[in-house]
Structures are given as C-alpha cells and as structure tokens.
Amino acid sequence: MAPAASLPAVTTLLTRYNAIRRATTHFCAPLSPEDLMVQSCPEASPVKWHLAHTTWFFETFVLREHVAAYKPFHPDFYWLFNSYYNSLGDMPEKKLRASFSRPPLDAILRYRAHVDAAIDRFLQQPVVEPAIQRITLGLHHEQQHQELIATDIKHAFFTNPLHPAYLEAPQSKNEAIAPPLEWSSFSPGLTQIGLATDPAGIYAFAFDNETPRHPVYIAPFALANRLVTCSEYLAFIDQNGYERPELWLSEGWTTMRAEGWHAPLYWQRDSNTKSGWRIYTLHGFQPLEHISETPVCHLSYFEADAYARWTAHRLPTEFEWEYAATHSVPAGGTQANLLESGNLHPISASHAPGLQQLFGDTWEWTQSGYTGYPGYKPLPGALGEYNGKFMSSQVVLRGGSCVTPATHIRPTYRNFFAPATRWQFSGLRLAKDLSR
C-alpha cells in the first residue's frame, strides 16, 4: 500500500534527482512563458517562480554549503528567489512575484541547468551524509512544488475569463459508481504516532514535523471506506447546507458569507448541463453528472466540517487517520490515484473491501490543529523555518491528492493549511465515535 514501495531499491540518489527535476519541467511542457507569469490568488505563485525557487533551494542549502568551489549562477538570485527564510535575509514580498518578467524564463531554465550540472558533478564523488540529507530534503521540497504548480496553474486558468484547459484532452468520462459508504472500526488503545527516528525503515525520509514518534491514546472509532463524492455533496447543497448556520463553525459561517461561497471552489451553475452544474478541472469544465461519483474536492475545512456535521458524523483526527493508514492494509493492494496516474483529478473509489483512497485523490481534512509533536525540534539553522513557524491557526490534512507525486506521500505525512483554504485538492472522509 505504501506509495514509495514502487520505487526500485536500486535507485541511486542522482537518478532520483534527475528524474524528479525532469518531472517538474515535464509538467510545464504544455505551458507558455506567459502562462508561467500568472499569480491569480495570494496563496499561489507564478509557475516560473516555482521553477526558480526549487532550484534556489538546492543552490542555497546544498551547493553553497557543501561545494567549496561552487559559483552561484547570479548573485541576486540568493535573495530574489528566497520564499520565506528570514534567517537568510530579506526577500521580495510574495505578491510581487507576478512582476518577475525578468529574469526571463530562458534565464530560469539556464539556472536550473547550471544547478543540475553542479549537483551532477557533486554526486559523482563520495558525499557526506549531511549533504545527502539536504539533497533528499530538496527533492521532497521539489515534489511539494510540483503539486503547487498543478494547483496554481489550475487556479490561474480558472481565473482567466476564457477558462483554458491545462490539457485539452478531456478526462475520460468517469462513470464508475462509487461503492456504498461502509465503516471500518478500530479498537481503542495507545499507539505510536509519527516516523520512527530509525531511518532504516521503509520510509527513509520524513519532515521534522512528523517526529518524534510518540504514544497517543485513541478512543474507539470508525472511518468511512471512501471519500465523500460530488453527488453526496450536491445533496448537502440542495438541502440548504449553505443556509443553515447550525451546521457551521462560527468562523466558517462568517467566512462563507463574506466570500459568497455557495459550493466548492470550481463549481459553477450551468443551465446547459443535466445536473445544472459544471466543475472546472485541469481538463477544462466537465458537467457535474460526468464526475458525480468522484470525490468532492476544493473544499475549505469549514465546508468539510459542516458537511460532516450534516451527516451527524465528524472529521477524523490526524491520529485516527494515521492509525488507520498504518494498520489497515486493503486486501489485494491498491492503486492510488496520484500525480503519476495522469488523471489530474480524483476518480471513483474501488469496490474492493477495506479502506479505499487513503492515498491520492484528495487531501483529507482532519479535525486536528497543526502543532508540534511532544519533543518536536525544528531542523537547525534556516531550515528550521521550513515547517515549525507555521504551527498556528492551521489544520492538518492527510493522504495526498491526485497531483501529489507517488514517492512523496506516506502514512505519517502532515500537510497543513489555514481552514479557509480551497485551492488545493482538499476533500474529506467521514469518521465517527464508537461506544466504549
């Protein structure tokens, strides 16, 4: 079940480096230099910036620190493509990234080639363990930005009044019927949460926020076998879910009214479809009825929470989710719908027994606030800003989405966003208490 298992054990770091770096530019192939300029919401960045910043990460944290003779590509790039590492000095305001017509894309691609060549030379020789760890971190960082490139260009194209598709080829009509909702039960007890510090395990890498491994007591609970579907969510809308304050958190109600939300992001009323709705995807608009059995996504935490309350259930905690993901192996294995599947959108769940869609399709909102585990220590130095400084007012999501790279996700992975966030592929799985 573990997504990383498909990676052959013989893969060397350099092979992985080249594969992952190439995957980034490969994803950008259908995009023009103009497309790479768009920044359509405060959460997003222009794709060109992602291409530069991921390169900056290797230059700053690997080459500048571990390669004495390394000559930086351009002196200004050190501050220009810093995202949020205050320890390294000032950086441009995020909202200015759309003004970076210069350096041109061509220069950014040469920057990538320059850094790639330096990494290649570096890895031809014996390399110390800390450098290997940094490169590994950089590759996971690159994969996070691969996902962001997908979600940011989706938002950019949706914002464009012509609503172009990322890939014109339409998603094959997904008419598979989702399996009925069933519950998997879990017994109470103390469990270990977080990655073991022993790197010999199957998941050799983890972010600092997945550690230290520590005991958590879990009460008896049950999880739904699959994600909530568009068709199920439509019933919530049709039964006035967005008009009933008693279903919403106070902050959610206020936010939803202020923002004018009446449906998930990317849903639009459309009298030309049978369902009366169309949904924007990376393949362009689809009639809701063509994808009604696929998982609903682009929900805020508030919408996921309100939907769960409407069904008289709740969202799982991140510990429940991790416990289930670690202890329930679906019979016969599963084929997760991750970035490499090429679907670029959630698909209907399998009718196989056990928990489906734990990985891929959509990130799953949990009810857990994002904080440090007991004994949590950020990485030393500037990299300590990677995760730790965001531990307030955010909510944990688990499991990855249809644009998460397969080698990037794992049961202990903690994603986190502010509860009003909707531009990620975020959906939900229901949970409920069991009597003790």
Positions in the binding site for a copy of itself (CB under 8 A): 32-40, 48, 76, 80, 84, 86-87, 92, 96, 98-105, 156-157, 159-162, 164, 190, 214-217, 219, 221, 245-246, 248-253, 301-302, 305, 317, 367-372, 374-375, 384-385, 389-393, 395, 419, 433
Q: Which is nearer to a copy of itself, 205 or 376 (CB)?
A: 376
Q: Which is nearer to a copy of itself, 263 or 383 (CB)?
A: 383
Nearest to 175 by CA among 353, 352, 348: 348
Give the nearest distance from C-beta 39 to a copy of itself in angstroms.
Answer: 8
Give the nearest distance from C-beta 314 to a copy of itself in angstroms.
Answer: 8
Q: Which is nearer to a copy of itself, 101 or 335 (CB)?
A: 101
Give the nearest distance from C-beta 302 to a copy of itself in angstroms.
Answer: 7
Residues 417 and 147 sit within 8 Å (Cβ to Cβ): no
Give the nearest distance from C-beta 274 to a copy of itself in angstroms.
Answer: 25
Give the nearest distance from C-beta 387 to a copy of itself in angstroms.
Answer: 10
Report the C-alpha gap between 342 and 4 in whole angstroms: 17
Q: Which is nearer to a copy of itself, 360 or 427 (CB)?
A: 427
Residues 300 and 419 sit within 8 Å (Cβ to Cβ): yes
Residues 401 and 282 sit within 8 Å (Cβ to Cβ): no
Q: Which is nearer to a copy of itself, 38 or 288 (CB)?
A: 38
Give the nearest distance from C-beta 104 to a copy of itself in angstroms.
Answer: 6
Residue 346: DSSP 8-state: -
Residue 175 CB-density burial (10 A; 0-12 exposed, 13-18 middle, 19+ buried): exposed
- Extract the tokens encoding 361: 């399709």
CA 38 vs. chain centroid, Å, equals: 20
What 3 state SS string does 113-147 have?
HHHHHHHHHHHCCCCCHHHHHHHHHHHHHHHHHHH
Q: Give 268's strand partners.
A: 278
C-alpha angle 236/242/244, rounded to 5°? 95
Give the nearest distance from C-beta 266 to a copy of itself in angstroms.
Answer: 15
Q: Which is nearer to a copy of itself, 17 or 111 (CB)?
A: 111
Q: Give 169's strand partners.
A: none
Give the nearest distance from C-beta 422 to a copy of itself in angstroms.
Answer: 15
C-alpha angle 296/303/252, rounded to 5°? 160
Q: Which is nearer to a copy of itself, 102 or 125 (CB)?
A: 102
CA distance readout (Å), 24 to 21, 49, 77: 5, 12, 20
Give the nearest distance from C-beta 76 to a copy of itself in angstroms.
Answer: 6
- Extract the tokens encoding 433: 């208490």
Give the nearest distance from C-beta 284 to a copy of itself in angstroms.
Answer: 12
Residue 364: DSSP 8-state: E
Q: Which is nearer to a copy of itself, 218 or 228 (CB)?
A: 218
First and final CA of the chain: distance in angstroms?
30
Residues 322 and 398 sit within 8 Å (Cβ to Cβ): yes
Q: Which is nearer to a copy of itself, 131 or 299 (CB)?
A: 299
Q: Which is nearer to a copy of itself, 304 or 409 (CB)?
A: 304
Sequence letter at residue 414: R
